[in-house]
Each structure stands twice: as C-alpha cells, then as structure tokens.
Amino acid sequence: MCDTCGCGSTARDTGEPGDASETETLTVEERLLAKNDDLAAHVRASLDARGIVALNLMSSPGAGKTSLLERTIRDLGAEICVIEGDQETSYDADRIRAAGARAVQINTGAGCHLDARMVHDALHQLDPPPGSLLVVENVGNLVCPALFDVGEHAKVVVVSVTEGDDKPVKYPHMFAAADLVVVNKTDLLPYVDLDLDRLTAQARSLRPGVRVLPLSVRTGEGLDAWYAWVASKGVRDGAAVGA
C-alpha cells in the first residue's frame, strides 16, 4: 500500500456506494491531489523562470527508461539533470552520473510514485542550471504516477514490446495522460507477439492524436525521432530554450 496516495485502501474496495468511509476516502484524496497540483504549479513556474524544460518519464519496471536516458545523455549533448525515483537503491542515479549527467536519487520506500513535494525538495539539491533539461524518472509503475503532477511540461510513457499490446486498455489513466508514448526494444519485435498498430490505436482511443514512437535503445533505431521530439519541447543545440 502507498501511504501517500492511498492505493490499496479497503475503504474504496469494500464500502457500499454512498458509505461515509468511501466519501471520506475520496475527499482526502481530492485534497491531497489539489495540494500536490498547487505545489506542482509552483515548481513549473520556477522552472519556466529559469528556462528549464521538465519531462516526467514513466513506465513499468524494466521497460528501459534508464537506458533511454543514458543514451540520450551521451548522444544529445544537452545539459541534462535527472531526478531518479525508486523504492530502494541508488543504482539508477549511479548509472546516470556515469553517463555524464547530474542526478539526485529519491527512495520512496513503500511509496509507489513521486509527487510534487519530492521533486520540489530534490530540485534544491540538484540545482539544475538555467537552460537545462530536467528529466524526472518516476518509480516503475503504470498506475499512481499518472495521477500526480510533478511540475513537468510533458509526460512520456515508455513501454517495451515484451509487455504486450494491451497496456493502454489495462492502464488507461496513464495513457490518457501521456504526451508521448515510446515503444522501446523494437529490435525484439521478430521474437514477440505484439501488434504495434493495435497498441497505437488503443493509446489514441485514450489520448486522441498522441504520438507513438517506436525505437530501440540498443540498436539506435528511432532515436533520431526521439531527439527531434525532445527538441520540439524546447531543447536545442545543447540547451533548453523554453517550454
């Protein structure tokens, strides 16, 4: 169970419609999200004032978020700073630093997502320079991260071809929130049963017109399109120039 978002709460699962327990749970969650959104707006305004573009990178565990970041850091040449979210360990932050970027690790313990307060506090430690690209690599989870604005300018959902093409309909809130869907590990397409057109159609049924970008971090196929998309958010010639 997540202590901050209340997922797994038995009040919602077992309460009859109209029960006080269910109403109370919903009210608390609404207040929690409203408070988070207020702080996220503050974070975003602070980043805007410094010309920093922020991306919220979300996926299930093992889809390849960190690998995509490592290659992006090495290839793009931009000033990139990363906030890493995991329940435990500093493995991913260590990988990001080894690739050449600043990184701060947030360990959430039992928590299943990052929120605006965590990102706000991490930014004081990270201190990204004006004009940089900030990437928040969220905790591996296709549920709760979709609900929490962390002050980003765009949400990126990464899935891998090994996960199947039904993820959008299984996790609709995540894909409805996505500004970009990255389909990673396309080098494995000959060996898995995945219909890319079906996945794309399902994602667009939830977020009409969302771009679905197939790529392979391992082979480099499709990465130019990913870098072009990042540039379209305001990151050009090694610097962020606004959201």
pLDDT at 28: 57
Residue type, 223: L
Residues sharing a CB contact under 8 Å with residue 233, sequence separation 6 or more, in sequence order: 53, 55, 153, 154, 243
In a domain, 205, yes or no: yes
pLDDT at 73: 96
pLDDT at 14: 31
* Nearest Cα to Cα of residue 164 among 198, 124, 214, 118: 198
In a domain, 5, yes or no: no
pLDDT at 214: 98
- Taking the C-alpha atoms of residue 53 and residue 33, their distance in angstroms, rounded to an integer, is 23
Residues sharing a CB contact under 8 Å with residue 33, sequence separation 6 or more, in sequence order: 147, 148
In a domain, 100, yes or no: yes
pLDDT at 109: 95
For the chain, 243 residues long, the average pLDDT of each consecutive 10-residue run is: 51 43 62 91 97 97 98 91 97 97 96 97 96 97 96 98 97 98 98 97 98 98 97 66 39
pTM over 0.95: no
In a domain, 70, yes or no: yes
In a domain, 1, yes or no: no
In a domain, 74, yes or no: yes
Structural domains counted in the chain: 1
- Give the domain CATH number at 151: 3.40.50.300
∠ Cα 56 139 5 (to 5°):
95
Instruction: Enumerate the H helices of the chain as residue ranges.
Output: 10-14, 20-49, 65-76, 91-99, 116-126, 167-170, 172-177, 196-206, 223-232
In a domain, 3, yes or no: no
**β partners of residue 235:** 240
pLDDT at 32: 80
pLDDT at 148: 97
pLDDT at 128: 96
Residues sharing a CB contact under 8 Å with residue 204, sequence separation 6 or more, in sequence order: 210, 212
Judge whether 59 and 79 are in contact, CB under 8 Å: no
Residue 137 CA from chain centroid, whole number:
6
Containing structural domain, residue 107: 10-240
In a domain, 38, yes or no: yes
